[in-house]
Structure 1
Amino acid sequence: MSRTLEATIDIAASPQQVWAVLADLPRMKEFSPQCRGMKVLGGPVGIGTSTININRRGALVWPTTSKILAFEPGRELRFRVNENRTIWSFVLEPSETGTRVVQRREAPTGTTKISRTLINLAMGGTESFDDEMIVGMNATLTRLKHVVEATPVTA
Structure 2
Amino acid sequence: MPDEVAESVIVNAEPADVYAAVSDVRRMARWSPECFATWVWSRREGRPAGFVGFNRRGPLVWFTTCRVVVARPGEEFAFDVSTFGMPVSRWSYRLAAVPEGTELTEHWADRRTRGAHLMGRIFTGSVANDRAEANRDGMRTTLSRLKGELDRH
- CA gap of 1:85–1:128, structure 2 versus 1, over 3 A, is closer
The equivalent of 2:64 in structure 1 is 64
User: What secondary structure sits across from 2:112 in the alignment?
Assistant: coil
**What amino acid maps onto 1:113 in structure 2?**
R
TM-score (norm 2): 0.87
Report if the CA contact (8 A) 1:123-1:129 is conserved: no
User: 1:129 deviation in Å?
Assistant: 2.1
Cα shift at 1:72: 1.0
Please show how residues 2-151 of structure 1 align to structure 2 within 5 Å.
Answer: 3-43=3-43, 44-45=46-47, 49-83=49-83, 84-107=87-110, 110-121=111-122, 123-149=125-151
Deviation at 1:59, TM superposition (A): 0.6
SS at match of 1:63: strand
Q: Under a length normalisation based on structure 1, what TM-score does the superposition of the two structures give?
A: 0.86
The residue type equivalent to 2:53 in the other structure is N
Contact 1:76 1:92 in 2 (8 A): yes
Letter matched to residue 26 of structure 1: R
**Alpha carbons of structure 1 residues 42 and 53: separation in structure 2 relative to 1, 3 Å:** same
Percent pairwise identity? 27
Q: Is the 8 A contact 1:2 1:111 kept in 2?
A: no
| Structure 1 runs of 4+ with >2 Å offset | 112-115, 118-124
Shift of the 65–2 alpha-carbon distance from structure 1 to 2, 3 Å rule, reads farther
2:12, 2:102 within 8 Å by CA — same for their partners in 1? yes
Aligned residues: 147
In the alignment, structure 2 segments of 5+ residues that lack a partner are: none
Residue ranges of structure 1 left out of the alignment (5+ in a row): none
Structure 1 residue 2 displacement after superposition:
5.1
What's the C-alpha RMSD, in Å, of the aligned pairs?
Answer: 1.8
Label 1:39 to 1:137 Cα distance change in 2 as closer, same or farther (>3 A). same
